């Protein structure tokens, strides 16, 4: 079998309500996951030993990390694959990059072994809380740690999205540690929801506030996950592209991606 490819789709939290801090230190959340058409690209081929080659605009930042979830996924399944990861999404950015990469690795391994995706899905939760959602990369409501999933029940495919990141990595643990502990209520309609981690993230990276201000003309603009990436949803591609051009001109040092929900 030759080289196979999987897309590690960028994950968005359209809303994220933090309900409680559990005794084990984890947090109970309610969220709505959505996924973009674009993301990192993962390639793999059978090999005598597992390996990972990094390319792309954020390869250098990822190489500095001590452990990669792609190799962890392969080790858990017992697969020997030579991976190449085209790292297109910023790291530590609230887009589920590492989790999406691991989920893509599991899907790729299943294809190589002629398995159904469900045959390797059981490994997802053991790798990380967001990996189950990223595995199928379909819009869903998530509860618990984000790993208790149910279908969203509405089709968001094709919705134009603008992603903006101030190029500041942000520790998920640090943001959750900064949450003020207030339960602001359950998540109903995600359009009327919020991200309860925004205040803690802005305290660590004030530029997030500037990004949200730059996106404020859109109908819905929020931070994704624990940040620092923010997103805006648009009704028309033209409006998305115009907003992207204005932000790119005003903030050439920021990272932007123009995409759509899948």
* Positions marked catalytic: 11, 130
Task: Please give the structure tokens belonging to residue 186.
Answer: 């359950």
Q: With the C-alpha atoms ordered 255, 174, 24, 141, is the resulting torsion angle positive or negative?
A: negative
Give the tokens for residue 168: 């500041």
In what helix (H) or strand (E) does residue 212 lie, and over which residues does it extend? helix 207-214
Task: Evaluate whether 96 touches 35 at the Cβ level (below 8 Å).
Answer: no
Q: CA-to-CA distance for 176 and 186, rounded, in angstroms? A: 18
SS3 call for 74: helix
**What DSSP assignment string belongs to 147-198?**
TEEEE--S--TT-EEEEEE-S----HHHHHHT----------SGGG--BTTH
Q: What angle do CA 114, 99, 29 make, to 5 degrees?
A: 125
């Amino acid at each position: 079998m030759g080289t196979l490819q999987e897309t590690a789709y960028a994950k968005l939290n359209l809303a994220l309500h933090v309900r409680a801090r559990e005794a084990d230190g984890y947090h109970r959340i309610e969220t709505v996951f959505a996924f973009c058409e674009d993301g990192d690209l993962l390639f793999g081929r059978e090999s005598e030993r597992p390996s990972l080659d990094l390319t792309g605009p954020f390869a250098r930042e990822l190489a500095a990390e001590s452990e990669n979830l792609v190799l962890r996924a392969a080790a858990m399944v017992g697969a020997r694959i030579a991976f190449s990861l085209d790292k297109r999404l910023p790291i530590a950015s609230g887009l589920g990059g590492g989790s999406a990469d691991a989920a893509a690795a599991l899907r790729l391994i299943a294809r190589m072994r002629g398995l159904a995706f469900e045959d390797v899905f059981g490994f997802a939760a053991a790798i990380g809380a967001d990996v189950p959602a990223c595995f199928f990369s379909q819009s869903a409501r998530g509860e618990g740690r984000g790993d208790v999933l149910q279908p969203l029940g509405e089709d968001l495919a094709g919705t134009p999205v603008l992603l903006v990141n101030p190029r500041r990595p942000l520790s998920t643990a640090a943001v959750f540690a900064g949450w003020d502990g207030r339960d602001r209520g359950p998540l109903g309609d995600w359009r009327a929801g919020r991200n309860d981690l925004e205040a803690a993230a802005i305290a660590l990276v004030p530029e997030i506030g500037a990004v949200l201000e730059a996106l404020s003309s859109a109908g819905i603009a929020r931070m994704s996950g624990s940040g620092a990436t923010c997103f805006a949803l648009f009704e028309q591609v033209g409006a998305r592209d115009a907003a992207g051009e204005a932000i790119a001109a005003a903030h050439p040092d920021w990272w932007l991606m123009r995409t759509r929900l899948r």
